[in-house]
Chain A
Amino acid sequence: MNEGEGSSAERRRQRGSGQRSERATMIAVGGGKGGIGKSLLTANLGVCFARSGKRVVLVDADLGGANLHTCLGIDLPAASLSDFVQRRVANLEDVVVDSGIDGLGLISGAQDFLGSANIKYTQKLRTLRQIRRLQADVILLDLGSGTSFNVLDFFLSSHLGIVIIVPEPTSLENSYRFLRSAFYRLLHHRESARPFLEIIEQAMLPNNDKAIRTPHDIIRLVGRMDPERGDRYRAWLSSFRPLLVVNQVRSPEDAELGPAVLLACRKYLGIELDLLGHIDYGDNVWQAVRTRTVLMMQDVESPVTQRIWHVARQIEKRMESLEVAGRERLKL
């Protein structure tokens, strides 16, 4: 394969047939809780993909708590997502900045809008639409914490959604809440009939008076009213397959958490997670942040680095099967 051919193919791929085509695979990284390494992992995964020759754009979608640039060791870029959201810039492509690493672009997070976890629905749609059309092979979205509709919608609109947990009860509590909320939100988007929407809305309230605690409960309730619909919900539940990464693993027991969470999640929520692997806790991680370097660029041999590579390869496998299976995801 000579270079010319490769690059022209590459160009075609980038430009696409219509230049606004959606070529990129969108991957959201979330997990409910803050401080579990979402941004760091997103940045480092981005480096992995870029190193394997993909064009990558990182999007700091942590509205209000953006710090992805810090994880990449660069100063806060002048242009950010805010410029686009506030319509100071018409084209999202124009706020992509160079990360200093080949093949890796960054859309820095919004810094200025307070409580911006509540951007308007129309702004959200516009943002999502343009993110999808970014010229890249992989778009990694670094999501904020919590279970606001914005976070959930970014997660659900992605081709792949990664949930990160750390071996702490608080993390699991938040992640389960996140997964449950995400599925309910998905149902809510796909449902249009009133009585059923009401059930889903009930389910979204904690301690709802219908005693809905799991997707099973919704399916049971809905199935009683409309069996076919119940089956449809069940199919949606089984095709809802978030990816899981266990981060900050410090012991062999911690490493066993992944399979246990898969089991618990499957048994209780009926949600089948796809375990990508675990990443060890390493001092070199925070040291890298402190020295404003990117781990994957510096410390090539450390266990943490190896683990991140492993996770990246797992994600690549999922991306390949997406190509084959078609790319179904929530279109807002």
Chain B
Amino acid sequence: MKDFREQNYYELLEVTVHASQQEIEDSYRQARRAFASDSVATYALFSPEELVLLRRRIEEAYRVLTDAERRRLYDRELSRLDSTQWPDGETPADTKQQEQRADEQRQQQEQEPDNEDQPRLPLVESKPPPPADEVAEVDPVVTEPAEPVESEPVESEPVESEPVESESAEPESAEPKSGEPKSGEPETVVLESTKPEPVGPESVAPPAGPALPRVEKTESGPATDAPSAGEAASTRQEEQLPPLPRIDDDTPIDGELLRRVRLARGLELERIAEITKISIYYLRNLEIEDFTNLPARVYVRGYLKQLCSILELDASRIVDAYLARLDAGGGREGEG
């Protein structure tokens, strides 16, 4: 059993890679109930931030796995990964089979790109196949455009982002949505209206591998010079993440360190702002040490704690050290 942050879509929904549409639906519905914000089952277990993250992951998993085309691409991606990364109970044979299946599909697709897999998923056949390049956006939690997160996650609807596309598949699921952000969810819009020129499967930027689901394309990160398409893209998220900086006794605890850890975790400031509700302005100022443009110290302390929790940093080590730096009047002001 892995941490949910490290689970692939199948693991998240707790279905096998061969799960039927119905199994996925059932599992999704159960997960949605269990992880609803008013669910007693999660009480005192998940933090509100974690719950938001988990629900989002489950939502994504559902969206991809109930869409024949996206699932196929996702499967293909999974099958490429080392078999050791498969979930418990998934035998190498499964993986091989999966690989084989994916291979067959690939060949098939090369021949008739638009014409497969539909019968397998009767519930979604009314839906246009998603544009291949959409798949690039499906995985990491963090790749979605920052959507305005409800100000009060505890009271929010069980699922924040209900894909419009699934209405045709599962009418019931549309009802609890708390409204898609007006800021434009390219995903749904594109899915419903346009079908971009088919992109060859090989040029598709695939979803992230199961091992690093939280990883995102680090658009603002330092390591974005990877090929934008092709095979390399499949692993780029893994390879491109800068290493996690070592933190030992001599490591200066500063904004730069926070930034480097964030990049190593594959998180964008927008994403963190979304989870923590801390203004991105302050988050950025924390990193660039623009101490004059930070709120009162007591708030900064709180921000740092939240940040540490998201970046999986040892708060006891970071918070006070950073505050000491702030107190010393260092930072951009002092240095520059």
Q: Which residues of A contact B (CB under 8 A)?
A: 167-169, 172-173, 176-177, 209-211, 214, 216, 220, 237-238, 256-257, 259-261, 263-270, 272
Are the C-beta atoms of A264 and B41 separated by less than 8 Å?
Answer: yes
In angstroms, Cα B315 to Cα A216, docked, is 18
Are the C-beta atoms of A238 and B45 separated by less than 8 Å?
Answer: no
Q: Which residues of A contact B3 (CB under 8 A)?
A: 214, 216, 220, 270
Residue of A with least CB distance to B58: A267
Additional A-B contacts beyond A169-B44, A264-B35 (5; CB < 8 A): A172-B45, A211-B308, A214-B3, A264-B34, A264-B42
* Selected contact of A264 from candidates B45, B309, B316, CB within 8 Å: B45
Are the C-beta atoms of B41 and A261 separated by less than 8 Å?
Answer: yes
Residue of B with least CB distance to A220: B3
Residues of chain B at interface, number, CB under 8 A:
29
Interface string of B204-228 (1 = CB under 8 A from A): 0000000000000000000000000
In angstroms, Cα B34 to Cα A261, docked, is 7
Q: Which residues of B contact A256 (CB under 8 A)?
A: 33
Q: Which of B31, B45, B315 is the most central at the interface, judged by chain A CB atoms within 10 Å of its CB?
A: B45
In angstroms, Cα B20 to Cα A244, docked, is 29
B85: shortest Cβ distance to chain A, in Å? 14
Are the C-beta atoms of A268 and B33 separated by less than 8 Å?
Answer: no
In angstroms, Cα B39 to Cα A256, docked, is 11
User: Using a Cβ cutoff of 8 Å, how many contacts connect chains A and B?
Assistant: 75
In angstroms, Cα B313 to Cα A143, docked, is 37
27 inter-chain pairs at a CB distance below 8 angstroms, sorted by A residue, are A167-B40, A172-B40, A173-B43, A177-B44, A209-B314, A209-B315, A209-B317, A210-B314, A210-B316, A211-B308, A211-B313, A211-B314, A220-B3, A257-B40, A257-B41, A259-B34, A260-B40, A263-B14, A263-B30, A263-B35, A264-B42, A266-B14, A267-B35, A267-B54, A268-B4, A268-B46, A270-B3
Determine if B332 is an interface residue (Cβ-Cβ < 8 Å).
no
Q: Which residues of A contact B317 (CB under 8 A)?
A: 209
Q: Which residues of A contact B328 (CB under 8 A)?
A: none
Are the C-beta atoms of B43 and A260 separated by less than 8 Å?
Answer: no
Q: Which residues of A contact B35 (CB under 8 A)?
A: 263-264, 267
CB-CB contacts below 8 Å: B24-80 with A: 30-31, 33-35, 39-46, 50, 54
Determine if B312 is an interface residue (Cβ-Cβ < 8 Å).
yes
Residue of A with least CB distance to B35: A264
A35: shortest Cβ distance to chain B, in Å? 17
Q: Which residues of A contact B313 (CB under 8 A)?
A: 211
* Selected contact of A266 from candidates B1, B314, B315, CB within 8 Å: B1
Determine if B152 is an interface residue (Cβ-Cβ < 8 Å).
no
Are the C-beta atoms of A267 and B4 separated by less than 8 Å?
Answer: yes
Are the C-beta atoms of A211 and B40 separated by less than 8 Å?
Answer: no
* Selected contact of B34 from candidates A169, A214, A263, CB within 8 Å: A263
In angstroms, Cα B2 to Cα A47, docked, is 40
A278: shortest Cβ distance to chain B, in Å? 13
Residue of B with least CB distance to A238: B1
Q: Which residues of A contact B44 (CB under 8 A)?
A: 169, 172-173, 176-177
Q: Which residues of A contact B175 (CB under 8 A)?
A: none
Q: Which of A172, A210, A266, A269 is the most central at the interface, judged by chain B CB atoms within 10 Å of its CB?
A: A172
In angstroms, Cα B2 to Cα A42, docked, is 34
Are the C-beta atoms of A269 and B34 separated by less than 8 Å?
Answer: no
Q: Which residues of A contact B41 (CB under 8 A)?
A: 172, 257, 260-261, 263-264
Determine if B250 is an interface residue (Cβ-Cβ < 8 Å).
no
Known contacts A211-B308, A237-B1, A172 near B34 by CB under 8 Å: no
Are the C-beta atoms of A269 and B45 separated by less than 8 Å?
Answer: yes
In angstroms, Cα B40 to Cα A257, docked, is 8
In angstroms, Cα B57 to Cα A267, docked, is 12
Residue of A with least CB distance to B317: A209
Are the C-beta atoms of A176 and B30 separated by less than 8 Å?
Answer: no
Determine if B249 is an interface residue (Cβ-Cβ < 8 Å).
no
In angstroms, Cα B16 to Cα A219, docked, is 25
Determine if B333 is an interface residue (Cβ-Cβ < 8 Å).
no
